Amino acid sequence: MATSQEAIDAFNAAGGSGQDTQDDTISNPIEVDVIILPELFKNQSLLVKDNDALENDSAFGGPAASNTSKTSLTSGITRYRMVGDIMLIEMPNDDDEQDRMDLLHHVFNLVLDGKLYLAPIENPQRVLDVGTGTGIWAIDFADQYPSSHVVGCDLSPIQPGWIPPNLEFEIDDVEDTWRYSQKFDFIHIRSLGGSVASWPHLLDQARDNLNDGGFIELVDFEYHGYSDDGTGELAPSFQKWQAGLDEASRLFGRDLNVAMKFKDWLEEAGFEAVVERHWRVPMAPWARDRRNKEIGLYMQQNMLDATVAYGMAHFTRILGWSPEE
């Protein structure tokens, strides 16, 4: 893996504008989150508010009209891609991946019976959504609690321009030092497996930015599939894919399969009365009841969409597999 300076030099040599480079393993480079080299965008933390300056910005879905609530971001933070053989990437953030993230939000809603969270909170005034992605959870929460002030933080500027007045999006690296002027009543972290180098460090920062009596909620899937009837053993290719993805993410330094470690990490960080809950989520529409069949249908599509998004870079660039393998 290249050093930070080597990657920065390569990025600058490519114009610093995210231009495509020829590569034998990826014929159509996709836009990606730069999460290994946060120094590329140091001092460019921006707040996305509905009353900021307006201009055309493809990162927010097209041209901005003069009467819309759309913000502009500097081009240096909206353009970035894979540069040669330098490992700058972890997760994609192209349109297909954004659709997949929104689909996954729907899956979580089904699993939790329409609830956005399970923490015993009432009317929280300040809420932080860490790794907000497309912002869909933060938007729903802000709509549900109009008296609250919601902040969605993510490294990638892919959130919509039209947002509730009590919501703002901050473009920043959540693994850097948090510099919020006020603490939060509720901190929500979902689907960040594979995106965090040091969970203990992240949770220490969350603890330090949480009000006394506040709550933190972590939600993620265990990235291993299981079968009750033993049929999983009849799919050796799937088992090989799971094991390879697990190995690659650990070698990369950003483990995907972290959900089972959350409780220990939270307790080690000093959180009290930690509650852990598990749900069985079908990965295909085999269930007889309508609810689980619907969950399985969406999860099956999510798995199919995630296979390339998660697998290609991990297997080809970290494990050295060919695209055919």
Instruction: Average the pLDDT over 76-90 and give the result.
Output: 39
**Straight-line distance from the first to the last Cα atom of the chain, in angstroms, rounded to the nearest whole number:** 22
pLDDT at 92: 61
Question: Is residue 189 within a helix (H) or strand (E), and if so which, with residue range?
Answer: strand 184-190
- Is residue 186 very low, low, confident or very high in pLDDT (cuts 50, 70, 90)? very high
Q: Please state which of the ranges 54-63, 155-164, 218-227, 284-293 shows the lowest mean pLDDT.
A: 54-63
Task: Report phi then psi at 309, rounded to 5.
Answer: -60, -45
Closest-CA residue to 210 (of 191, 188, 195, 177): 188
Residue 59 has pLDDT above 50, yes or no: no
C-alpha span between 60 and 300 (Å, rounded): 28
Phi, psi for 202 (deg, rounded to 5):
-60, -45
> DSSP readout, 211-260?
EEEEEEEEE---S----SSSGGGG-HHHHHHHHHHHHHHHHHT--S--GG
Give Rg (Cα) of the chain: 20
| Percent of the chain residues past pLDDT 70, beyond the cut | 71
- What is the pLDDT at residue 183? 98
Domain covering 93-318 assigned CATH 3.30.9.10 in the classification: no
Could you tell me if 296 and 284 are in contact, meaning their C-beta atoms sit under 8 angstroms apart?
A: yes
> Residue 153: which residues within 8 A CB-CB, separation 6 or more?
128, 129, 130, 131, 132, 169, 170, 171, 172, 174
319: confidence class by pLDDT, cuts 50, 70, 90: confident
The per-residue pLDDT for range 104-163, each reduced to its tens digit, is 999 999 999 999 999 999 889 999 999 999 999 999 999 999 999 999 999 888 898 899
* Range 40-61 average pLDDT: 30
- What mean pLDDT is predicted for residues 172-183? 94
Residue 127 to residue 145: CA distance in whole angstroms: 10
Tokens matching residue 127 = 């809420």
Contact 142, 166 (CB under 8 A): yes
What is the pLDDT, as a whole number, of residue 28?
A: 34
Q: How confident is the model at residue 262 (pLDDT cuts 50, 70, 90)?
A: very high
Q: Is 46 helix (H, G, I), strand (E, B) or coil?
A: strand
Amino acid at 291: R
3-class SS of residue 210: strand
For residue range 303-314, list pLDDT tens digits in order. Answer: 888 777 677 778
Mean pLDDT of the chain: 75
Instruction: Count CB neighbours of 245 within 10 A.
Output: 23
Q: Could you tell me if 108 and 190 are in contact, meaning their C-beta atoms sit under 8 angstroms apart?
A: yes
Q: Are 139 and 167 in contact (CB under 8 A)?
A: yes
Average the pLDDT over 226-251 and give the result: 80
d(CA 213, CA 81): 42
Question: For residue 128, which of 170, 160, 163, 191 has the smallest C-alpha distance?
Answer: 170
